Amino acid sequence: MGLFSRKSKAKTEPNEPETAETVAGKLPEEDERPKLETPFVPDNTVGPKSLGLGEEIPDGYGDLGILKIKAVPGMQVNLGSEDETQPPFHQATFLIQNSAVQVTVFAIPKGEDGWQKIKSQLAEMFADRNYLVKERETRYGQELFVEAEVRTPDGRLGVTQMRVAGVTGERWACQFTVYGPAVDPESESAQKLDEFLDEMLISRGNTPMPPYRPIALTPPQLLNA
Digit-coded pLDDT (tens) for 117-159: 999 999 999 999 999 999 999 999 999 999 999 888 888 999 9
pLDDT score, position 152: 85
Q: What is the DSSP string of 179-220?
A: EGGGGSTTSHHHHHHHHHHHT-EE---S----TT-BPPB---
Q: Provide the residue range defining the domain that includes 118.
A: 4-33+43-202
Q: Which residues of the chain have pLDDT under 70?
A: 1-37, 82-85, 221-225
CA 215-217-223 angle, to 5 degrees, is 145
- Residue at 52 is within a domain: yes
Q: Give me the helices (H) in the chain, please.
A: 20-24, 114-128, 188-198
Calculate the alpha carbon distances from 19 to 78, 148, 189, 200 in Å.
15, 15, 23, 19
Quote the pLDDT of residue 187: 97
In-domain check, residue 221: no
Output the pLDDT for position 41.
80
φ/ψ (deg, to 5) at 181:
-55, -30
pLDDT at position 71 is 86
- Residue 119 in domain: yes
Residue 184 belongs to a domain: yes
Nearest to 101 by CA among 87, 119, 80: 80
Residue 174 falls within a domain, yes or no? yes
The answer to whether position 219 is within a domain reads no
Number of domains present in the structure of the chain: 1
Q: What is the pLDDT of residue 26?
A: 57
CA separation, residue 84 to residues 6, 62, 153, 161, 172 (Å): 8, 22, 18, 21, 23
Angle at 139 between CA 136 and CA 142, to 5 degrees: 30
Q: Is residue 223 part of a domain?
A: no
**Which pTM does this prediction carry?**
0.80
CATH number of 77's domain: 3.40.1000
- CB count within 10 Å of CB 55 equals 11
Q: Which residues contact 23 (CB under 8 A, 6 or more apart)?
A: 118, 121, 122, 125, 212
Q: What is the pLDDT of residue 120?
A: 96
